[in-house]
Amino acid sequence: MGRTPRRLLGKSSLAVAPFALGGNVFGWTVDEAKAFRILDAFVSAGFNLIDTADVYSTWVPGHRGGESETIIGKWLRESGRRNDVLIATKVGNDMGTGGKGLSAEHISHAVEASLRRLQTDYIDLYQAHDDDPGVPLSETLEAFSSLVDEGKVRAIGASNYDAERLMAALQCSRERGLRRYESLQPLYNLMERQEFEGALGEVCRREGLGVLTYYSLAAGFLTGKYRSREDLGKSPRGRRVETWFGERGFRILAALDEVASRLDSFPATVALAWLMARPLVTAPIASATSLDQLNQLLGAADLHLDTEAIQLLDKVSAGSDC
């Protein structure tokens, strides 16, 4: 597949390499020193998109949010590599006393806080973390458009929008002459295909949106490290994967094992390569807590899945356990 940027995010000028590094673990399960090593290795390998959010990691006791952005900002300053990367962050989730939602007021405050933490004067991709039906789409899009016009943001995107609301947002931008969402960040992986495939994916195809998938490895389940309930204690995410301990989940793991063995690779690498081979996917997002993990993820960009492998993975992952 190659490691050079291969696709733009929508109509924007943001060229993205085929894998994006998730920053949700920075300041949570990955401390600053280790995060710096992972970021250095990621960029040195020729990749460029780092995805985070202001809300990372409010779920950790004692955290207030912004921990991930702060670490990335320190790395940007100390490494001097701001011009080598694209920084994507998000706004809208509950920051406690820092507010939440997609009102113009909250967006204007939140972007300044993110810029300070990231130690940069612009954000490459600023994303609505979740739809906010309590705020008119026009208000949200006008606020985002102003940030682009002011040079604080280069492009805007959406996350967790359904097909109807995403289409409504795009139509609002057209009718009012506002900046439009250039990308969507949907939940999409071998375990969870139904939410994106269908109407939502069709909107992205028809409108030419970039697609950055999150939970690309199903919270680590697709790495193969969770094979029994005894494995659930291996990481703080362990309990999230328990619902996939069923016939379909283990069938998918067996297929990943088979393909990985035949191609001298790893299940995680194969799972990401499957996403990269999907015609609508710009880049899957996944996080790494070690350099060994990162190398497995980066390897997906160079792994060619033949027709036999893709057909097998398509077949075993069709449908759902529900």
Q: Which residues are catalytic?
A: 56
CA distance 131 to 135: 9
Strand ranges, E, within 181-297: 181-185, 210-213, 283-286
Burial class from Cβ neighbours inside 10 Å (0-12, 13-18, 19+) for residue 74 reads middle
CA distance 259 to 263: 6
CA distance 85 to 72: 11
Query: Contact, 101 vs 92, CB < 8 A?
Result: yes
- Taking the alpha carbons of 226, 228, 234, 236 in that order, is the dihedral positive or negative? positive
The torsion region of residue 158 among left (phi > 0), alpha (psi -120 to 50) and beta comes to: beta
What contacts 278, CB < 8 A, 6 or more positions away?
A: none
CA distance 150 to 72: 23
Query: Contact, 191 vs 222, CB < 8 A?
Result: yes
* SS3 assignment, position 222: helix
